[in-house]
Structure 1
Amino acid sequence: MRYDKGRKDASRSRIMEVAAQRFRSDGIAASGLASIMSDAGMTNGAFYPHFQSKADLVRESIASALETQSRQLQEALAAGGLELAMAMYLSSEHRDHPETGCASAALLPEIARQPAETRHLYTEGLMKLVRQLAEDMPPHTRDPEGVALGIFAALIGALQLARALEGTELSDRILAAGADAARTLIQQRQGGEVS
């Protein structure tokens, strides 16, 4: 039986949506195709008309997650600048829901083990986020892209630590400390001074 293109596109989107959430919540290695397809409301056989392999699905899911994160970052920066973007990233809501959050914080160790094509695609997506953040740095920031890289490293690390300690007072303190570290990076690079 043949289905129209719209239905095929909708099925593909549904598989990617479920996979992206499953990968971020359970990890790539722990997420089997059978469970992804079941969660998507489809049979295992319906997978292969859309993707050649799980590796293809992983690559496309990561790309989609990074694109979504880029849109969210742009919206946060437009609405409230760096402070709002950092507050949203290091919120308890983001900490408590990895399935819909940052792919980097949820998947970095597994992304490092993916094929070169996936790692390259991840690098491009990450650098798009870094450039967005760099463009919103205060005037006279020395090496805005370097500062943005440092901020991402601080935010991702803080979120990962906070998730490991979720449900504790220390988890909340780590979120606050991550934001303070990011602010310090920005302040140290103001006015062209070397710190």
Structure 2
Amino acid sequence: MRYSREHKLETHARIVRKASVRLRQKGAHGVGVADLMKEAGLTHGGFYAHFNSRDDLVIEAFTHAMDRSTERWRKLAGQTSREKRFAMIVDSYLTSLHRDDPGRGCAIPTLGAEIARESSRTRRVFAGRLDQMIDMLADQIPGLPRKAARKRAMATMATMIGTLVMARVAGSGEFSDEILGAGREALLGRAKSPRPGKSASRRAVASTRH
């Protein structure tokens, strides 16, 4: 049966979305092509109708995840006053919800170490998306020259990512929550976020789910 171009594009996008979640849950080498295709409701044999290699799918999957993170941050910033945007992004990232749902969270804590051992092409694409995320975060830091804002954004991302990795290693109890609080305090000067209103809380939750 021949399918329309639109159908093929929709199927391709569904594979990438499903793979994006599974790779963040299991790691870049923790899921085989057959598993990824099954997750998307397709047979293993249909894989090469959409991708030239497994690496191509991995690249598209984590690119999708990183693009979603950047877009979520941009959306969150657009709903928040300029002076509160930076803090809102940090608060929404360093949450127990994000810690406990790696499959729908930021790709860097889950895949970063593995990507560092991948091909130069894979690392180059990943680095490009990372640079875009840093730029977007730098945009939310008022009162600093661009170069200084980027340096602070880099340090912020390094702290957020490291904090989230440590919190996940520690599990989901009091010690893990303490690590999340320490990360927030290092970046914002306070260990706990002020209690947000309902709308702010919903935005913070949504910003971690990709």
State the TM-score, normalized to the length of structure 1.
Answer: 0.91
Q: How does 1:117-132 map to 2 (within 5 A)?
A: 117-132=121-136
Does the Cα contact within 8 Å between 2:96 and 2:172 map onto a contact in 1? no
Segments ≥4 residues shifted beyond 3 Å: none
Mapped partners of 1:89, 1:166: distance in 2? 17
- 2:104 is equivalent to residue 100 of structure 1: yes
Q: How does 1:24-103 map to 2 (within 5 A)?
A: 24-80=24-80, 81-103=85-107
Q: Residue by residue, what CA displacement relative to the aligned partner does 1:57-94 show, whole Å, maximum 9, x if unpaired?
A: 01111111111111001112222301111111011111
Does the Cα contact within 8 Å between 1:18 and 1:40 map onto a contact in 2? yes
What residue identity is the alignment partner of 2:114? Answer: E
Does the Cα contact within 8 Å between 2:100 and 2:172 map onto a contact in 1? no
**Partner residue in 1 for 2:9:** 9
Q: Which runs of 5+ in 1 are unaligned?
A: 185-195
In the TM superposition, residue 7 of structure 1 has moved relative to its aligned partner by 1.0
Ranked by relative contact order (alpha carbons within 8 Å, sequence separation 6 or more), the top structure is 2
Q: Which moved more, 1:69-78 or 1:48-57?
A: 69-78
In the TM superposition, residue 167 of structure 1 has moved relative to its aligned partner by 1.9
**Partner residue in 2 for 1:190:** none
**Partner residue in 2 for 1:171:** 176
Q: Which runs of 5+ in 2 are unaligned?
A: 190-210
Indicate the SS of the match to 2:79.
helix
Indicate the SS of the match to 1:48.
helix
**Partner residue in 1 for 2:185:** 180
In the TM superposition, residue 165 of structure 1 has moved relative to its aligned partner by 1.4
Mapped partners of 2:120, 2:144: distance in 1? 36
In the TM superposition, residue 135 of structure 1 has moved relative to its aligned partner by 1.4
**Aligned alpha-carbon RMSD (Å):** 1.2
Q: Residue by residue, what CA displacement relative to the aligned partner does 1:81-115 show, whole Å, maximum 9, x if unpaired?
A: 01111111011111110001000011111110111
Q: Residue by residue, what CA displacement relative to the aligned partner does 1:9-41 show, whole Å, maximum 9, x if unpaired?
A: 111111111111111000111111111111111
Mapped partners of 2:79, 2:187: distance in 1? 19
Mapped partners of 1:3, 1:33: distance in 2? 22
- Identity rate, percent: 34
State the TM-score, normalized to the length of structure 2.
Answer: 0.84
